Amino acid sequence: DAGVIQSPRHEVTEMGQEVTLRCKPISGHNSLFWYRQTMMRGLELLIYFNNNVPIDDSGMPEDRFSAKMPNASFSTLKIQPSEPRDSAVYFCASSSGPITSSEQYFGPGTRLTVT
């Protein structure tokens, strides 16, 4: 298996622009997670899907952030409009959960820079 695939790997955009990050989970996994990693705040869970349904979006910072999972093999995280404070590495992870012993498999991340 190719593992979790994320695109793009790097994104540089100007403040106010829309940004869309993409994720393809491992085939057969039914849980998907979006995380944001910064030096100041560490690793933060943004949203968690199970069977394509958002279960917990309490970590989504504000209305500028939205996430969708239209099918089992694709998810997007959109930021509109983007701001410099959104600069971070965004990770997507999937698991065969929802059992608690399930391991999460992380993608390589998307490094977002908003100028």
Partner 1 sequence: GDSVTQMEGPVTLSEEAFLTINCTYTATGYPSLFWYVQYPGEGLQLLLKATKADDKGSNKGFEATYRKETTSFHLEKGSVQVSDSAVYFCALSDAAGGYQKVTFGIGTKLQVIP
Binding interface with partner 1 (CB under 8 A): 4, 31, 33, 42-43, 45, 48, 50, 55-56, 91, 93, 95, 97-109
- For tokens 């910064």, the residue is 38
Phi, psi dihedral angles at 25 (to 5 degrees) = -75, 170
- Residue 47 CB, nearest approach to partner 1 (Å): 13
Smaller CB separation from partner 1, 13 or 104 = 104
Q: Are 22 and 74 in contact (CB under 8 A)?
A: yes
H-type alpha helices, 2-110: none
Shortest separation between residue 78's beta carbon and partner 1, angstroms:
20
Rank residues 79 and 109 by Cβ distance to partner 1 and give the closer one.
109
Under DSSP, the state recorded for 98 is S
